[in-house]
Amino acid sequence: MSTKALILGCAGQQLSEPELRFFRQNQPWGFILFARNIDSREQVLRLTDQMRECAGRQDVPILIDQEGGRVQRLRPPNWYFYPPGRVLGQLFERDNKAGQRAAWLHSRLIAHDLGEIGVNVDCLPILDVPIAGAHDAIGDRAYSHDPEIVGKIGEAVVEGLLAGGVLSIIKHIPGHGRSFCDSHHDLPRVDTALGELLETDFKPFSQLNNVGMAMTAHIIFEAIDKHNPATTSAALIEDIIRGKLGFDGLLMSDDVSMNALSGDYRTRTQSIFGAGVDIVLHCNGEMEQMSEVALVTPRLAGKALDRANAALRPLKTADKAEIESLREEMEGLLSPFC
């Protein structure tokens, strides 16, 4: 059976019978994990095994947000606590080479943790470039206020994850750094001129436009589309993301259940696909909402299917590494900032 253009979450630490039936019937392209789904390594591995079994695909994408700092679903005492992205940027500002090495180590070690539990995609790197006074939704998750530094660290993060057998999703394209509210709750608007956006917020995404997957921002950029956030704006997706930024990889929405989007779940989903997004993401595991989204989600086909297949091609077995020695090296490099 062909897959639907869906990435879905689940409610708990194992798939219920209704979830198993729903996933088998709808065949989502991928799944995503959150803190509510996580207890121990053994439990999460059983859950990801269930996901692979009901999808019937060993390489089914299983996503997680494991960034470091505030946003990491795997936490102590069962997992290592990684410093936030801003720490990597601080080191880079002092020593470019050391900063890139630390970023590679940071993501290579995260990839090791994910590999142990059957997760093969990390929603990382964050390529957002925050400005002074912006909402803390991004904050210290961002590597720097300098788009050049953000791009350089982003490249190292992608390489580190890939070395550990994990794929990257760049986010939040074309940029979330100028938001003065949290798109989980409200719809941000940005009135900055297009020329300035291309030189700042959009620049890291252009630099990493060869990465296979990207996640959209639920933000209105008034210079491009005064009425629709990037996720549902055909003008922004075609003219900016696909056009000026040159990104031709798999484009997925940020969570369709976030309050920045309006309308019921069928309307939101139809608007996302109508704008040219390849895959819709629904995170909270609520069955009623997932059912509404799935009803209007197409099977992956055409260019979207080509992009989905191409996005998974770099997936490989992790390289051999002495994990504890890499961890000691990272801690040594970052110790002045932690």
Strand, coil or helix: 126: strand
Q: What pLDDT is recorded for position 183? A: 76
CA angle 222, 67, 140 (to 5 degrees): 60
Q: What pLDDT is recorded for position 180? A: 76
> Which H, E and C letters describe 131-143, residue by residue?
CCCCCCCCHHHCC
Query: Residue type at 204?
Result: P
Q: Is 186 a catalytic residue?
A: no
Q: What pLDDT is recorded for position 1? A: 59
Domains of the chain: 4-337 (3.20.20.300)
Q: Which residues contact 51 (CB under 8 A, 6 or more apart)?
A: 15, 23, 31, 60, 62
Paired residues of 231 in beta bridges: none
Q: How far is CA 74 from CA 94, 192, 316, 334, in A?
A: 29, 36, 22, 20
Catalytic position from the list 59, 184, 185, 319: 184
Catalytic position from the list 65, 254, 255, 278: 254
Say if residue 229 is preceded by a cis peptide, omega within 30 of 0.
Answer: no
Give the DSSP H/E element, type plus range, for residue 96.
helix 96-115
Query: Residue type at 262?
Result: S
pLDDT tens for the chain, 338 residues long, are 589 999 999 999 999 999 999 999 999 999 999 999 999 999 999 999 999 999 999 999 999 999 999 999 999 999 999 999 999 999 999 999 999 999 999 999 999 999 999 999 999 999 999 998 878 889 999 999 999 999 999 999 999 999 999 999 999 999 999 987 777 878 989 999 999 999 999 999 999 999 999 999 999 999 999 999 999 999 999 999 999 999 999 999 999 999 889 999 999 999 999 999 999 999 999 999 999 999 999 999 999 999 999 999 999 999 999 999 999 999 999 999 88
Pair of tokens at residue 217? 């921002």
Separation of alpha carbons 330 and 326, rounded Å: 6
Pair of tokens at residue 144? 């720097």
